[in-house]
Structure 1
């Protein structure tokens, strides 16, 4: 069976038995890049990587939540620095697009999140690590500004959505994006995939986030990526074996795994 890498999954959000079953029954999985939400999440992902060789952790602070206190941030960064050799990337980090939309206050300030993201970008650059980004719609140009400011080249925009100008900017900067199973049924995502270079593309599940269409009411699982790859093959009018090869090569090279 063709090998696949899930380039973005929250493995620590699954139950122990679900993780065990997922890995033991999935010979097609080359690796799982599991991103972190906070310190506790990063610690669990590290433990999972020590238990399962296919699990490759990234450490960061997910932006769709309240900002950490100064003490919490220092504790997190100190922990990441101590364990940085175990990490394939810094992530998931970015800006809180959805949290901001749902906020009950009209005085939501983005500045603290921008400063936090810049801190992680600086660390990724210093430690020579790829950075995994949560940056969609109007937030993506702000993130591109920061990446360009610090001359970061290895940036992965997961489950990206944005305008054509930003898409072209991301392409020209050599950044990568990844597609979730919603490419199977979302026209907007299909159009993005048509125009995005196959050499800067990956696939992911963002599990355990649930999906609709043919995946309705199913536990999100890496096997769903095979449907994503079939759709990319169709959209790109490329032989499916070539798409598998490109995506595997891209992700292995990007994350040095």
Structure 2
């Protein structure tokens, strides 16, 4: 094992005993950092508190789109919090568009995402994105509108044309442990530029295959890297080094 970084985890959502276990395990499993994304204002405050207790937890502040839109006061509080604490965060995130919620009218979510992009540009921060399938081209247009170059499409799923455009624009994507058993994800990994990929767990989201009925732990990333190295026809050591280099660059670690 070599050093790894979990580029997308909801660390604040873990039960306290599981958080403690993961933090205890980090040195053993060579887990250097956790990029802990936020889902709303209370989540952002929780992630900041976690960072202040352990600097290996790198917070991102945002509003997850798979929920009702925030009220005006909630949004004002969140944006004020981000502005006040922007030096302690590594990114704006998680932000994007709702897909699984099957929202019929996404105009409000688009307006919210646009405000987050304006803030990311102002603060010179990357964005961690929830934007898959047909939502991705819409988000790409907004990224181009605001000239945002550092965009991380986490756990991406989409068509080859969109993937090509993302690669051409220099955007990054990340792979979860499901790459071990999901063929469509394996195909994406095979085609995407090696200098623009990262790894994540999206924990505490659970996985199937060899991870079924297990608490999602960042140490699962080691199996992910081993599998990606085979797809990319690289040694495992080469894959570790490339992924660490990619992530350190993207999140300015």
TM-score interval for Structure 1 and Structure 2 normalised by the shorter chain: over 0.9
Q: What does 1:155-234 correspond to in 2, within 5 Å?
A: 155-234=151-230
Aligned to 2:247: 251
SS of match in other structure, 1:256: coil
SS of match in other structure, 1:98: coil
SS of match in other structure, 2:156: coil
SS of match in other structure, 1:120: helix
Q: Distance in 2 between matches of 1:132 and 1:23?
A: 23
Aligned to 1:47: 49
SS of match in other structure, 2:70: coil
SS of match in other structure, 1:64: coil
Q: Contact 2:26 / 2:32 at 8 angstroms: preserved in 1? A: no
TM-score (norm 2): 0.98
TM-score (norm 1): 0.96
| Off by >6 Å, runs of 4+ in structure 1 | none
Deviation string for 1:60-85 (max 9, x for gaps)? 00000000111111111111111111
Aligned to 1:10: 10
Aligned to 2:40: 38
Q: Distance in 2 between matches of 1:232 and 1:165?
A: 22
SS of match in other structure, 1:49: helix
CA drift at 1:131: 0.3
CA drift at 1:26: 2.1
Aligned to 1:98: 100
CA drift at 1:139: 0.1
SS of match in other structure, 2:244: helix
SS of match in other structure, 1:246: helix
For the aligned residue pairs, the C-alpha RMSD in angstroms reads 0.7
Q: Distance in 1 between matches of 2:67 and 2:173?
A: 23
Q: Distance in 2 between matches of 1:54 and 1:20?
A: 13
Deviation string for 1:11-50 (max 9, x for gaps)? 0001222111111122111100000000100000000001
Q: Distance in 1 between matches of 2:159 and 2:46?
A: 36
Aligned positions, number: 251
Moved more, 43-52 or 17-26: 17-26
